[in-house]
A and B are shown apart, each in its own frame.
Chain A
Amino acid sequence: MNKKNFGKENLIRYVLMLFALSSIFFLFLIFAFIMSEGLKLFFKVGLLNIIASLKWAPTKGFFGIFPMIVSSFIITVGALCVGGPLALACATYLAEYAGKKTKMFLKPAIELLAGIPSVVYGFLGVVYIVPLVREYLGGSGFSALSASIVLGVMILPTIISISYDALTSVPVVYREGSFAMGATKWQTIYLVVIPAARSGILAAFILGMGRAVGETMAVIMVAGNALQIPTSILDPLRTLTSNIALELAYATGDHRSSLFSTGVVLLVIIMVLNFIANFWVKRKVIKGS
């Protein structure tokens, strides 16, 4: 009986392991595919002619994606400026102040926010935010600012849920200690709890950045997709992801490879961000244990 059970348990264990490994297999496939398509061009025209050049005209032999790297960076920072404080405030409220009933209502609502398709965010951005920016701030409205606002809302769920976990995992004794010293609730939160959860919150922000860098559809719809390095937040810009999605339909030959090269750069950026986030989360776990 025991032996039989043991065999069955092991079988299930290995089958599940196989499925778990398949995710790595797919990751590897994607990685290999993007590299094989995208690296060709790096060897052909040189790394600097791609990542440091300003001019993008792939059908005429110019493959510079530097403005797009800068643009991706700008709207990511913009999204963090818009969404970051909001998300942190929301997570703090959820973790420290909210009662059970409020939580029961708020948490699913935030999860729902994550489930809304990005094209819907983009559409709302085009219909409401773009005209508002155009009317009150000038420019065409299709701008870094509009994209940052839309992205800022889109990254809320990611940042909220991870910072919430970080805040709730701060041991109760920290809070009790602080209260015992005579600190008020707010003093406890911003002097004790948030600093203690700092690394987890940072990881949340970095994963939020990852989401912002990777977002495509909503950005195409509101950012205007111009090929310049923007000089103001009201200028249109094009991110790395938009570049791929915008031009893939018509691309052939080197043009197509150059889009995969854009993908390689994007992959590297996302990998670095995830690596940093994991590093922070890990440190938190070690510290916590």
Chain B
Amino acid sequence: MNNRKPKILGTFTLIIMIVCSSFLGACSQKEAKGKKHTVTIAGSTSVMPFTEKLAEHFMVDHPDFVVNVQGGGSSAGIQACLLRTVDIGMSSRELKEGETALADTVICFDGIAIIVNPGNPLRNITLSQVKSIYSGQVKNWKDLGWIDRQIDAVTREEGSGTRGAFEELVMKKEEISPAIMVQDSNGSVKEVVATDPYAIGYISLGMVDEKIIALKVDGITPNLENIREKRYTIVRPFLFLTLGQPRPTVFTFIGYVLSEEGQEILRKEGLITKVYE
């Protein structure tokens, strides 16, 4: 009796799964047949959620379009675009040498906030202090005017677009010390900082909430206004990349993203649009 129950349950689940998947398969096939224009997009996981949102709205307005959005990371997006496996690559970092064959379109800007635990009395930090923490020269909160306690700095993993932008905008020529802790997403960095009172980290400004404190950098609060006025400088572009002359379909989607409507969606998500134009 005891053995039978899970077996039946298991079989039942399996049947449901098969039925569902075949149903879904049939559905998507049908849809694909009806809609003629597809746009494939892949790349930065920082840009992906916003592109998905844009794609949803776009597909409501343009029922004859299918927009597929995938992640993979900035570097993967750039590679895929160079190999023409996707129509649009997403990147949260500037193009490097050897990638300049791609045409880049800035769809919006994103600030990077330096964050600490709410229990930390520090509210202001200078760019050079951030730099010396991450290069491993400053290791104690005492040097920043707090208690005598080791600084638990957190960075992102190698290859991350946020890390790439941080290296470029904050570290400049210096390297991030190998003693710094590494987490693999904006979310986990935030989680570490939210639970460890002695931690410091950096995340996308759109991710900042009440669990953590975003520090003023050189006395300037990281908010939309200060970024728009170019006072807050740790800002990176979100890029759409295309190779050669894009197809009209692709062009239509990019046009939508840059339109007032598309930009409004991005603004609502906490990103900064049309600043540097």
Contact = CB atoms under 8 A, between A and B. Distances in A.
Interface of A: 55-59, 67, 126, 130-131, 134, 138-142, 220, 224-228, 235-236, 238, 245-247, 249-253, 255
B232 to A, nearest CB: 26
Given A140-B152, A140-B196, A249 B72 contact: yes
B146 to A, nearest CB: 15
Contacts of A250: 72-76, 157-161
> Which applies to chain B's interface (DSSP): helix, strand, loop or mixed?
mixed
Contacts, number: 91
Contact of A140 (B75, B191, B198): B198
Given A131-B195, A140-B199, A224 B158 contact: no
Contacts of B160: 250
22 contacts: A57-B158, A58-B159, A126-B191, A134-B198, A138-B150, A141-B196, A142-B181, A224-B182, A225-B182, A225-B184, A247-B157, A249-B45, A249-B73, A249-B159, A250-B158, A250-B159, A251-B73, A252-B75, A252-B78, A252-B159, A253-B75, A253-B79
A265 B178 CA distance: 21
B179 interface: yes
Nearest to B198: A140
Pick from B76, B161, B184, B198 the residue with the most CB of A within 10 Å: B184
Contact of B159 (A134, A235, A247): A247
A247 B183 CA distance: 10
A139 B159 contact: no
B181 A236 contact: yes
A251 B75 CA distance: 7
Contacts of A142: 152, 181, 192
Given A58-B158, A249-B72, A224 B181 contact: yes
B179 A140 contact: no
Interface in B75-113: 75-76, 78-79
Interface residues of B, number: 30
Contact of B182 (A58, A246, A255): A246
B175 interface: yes
Contact of A226 (B73, B79, B161, B178): B178
B45 to A, nearest CB: 7
Contact of A56 (B71, B72, B178, B198): B178
Given A249-B71, A250-B75, A251-B73, 11 more contacts: A57-B175, A59-B158, A134-B198, A139-B152, A225-B157, A226-B180, A226-B181, A228-B179, A238-B182, A246-B157, A250-B158
A58 B179 CA distance: 17
Contacts of A224: 181-182
Pick from B78, B161, B182, B199 the residue with the most CB of A within 10 Å: B182
Contacts of A225: 157, 181-184
A177 B71 CA distance: 67
Contact of A255 (B158, B180, B192): B158
A9 B157 CA distance: 56
A86 B196 CA distance: 30
Given A131-B195, A140-B152, A56 B179 contact: no
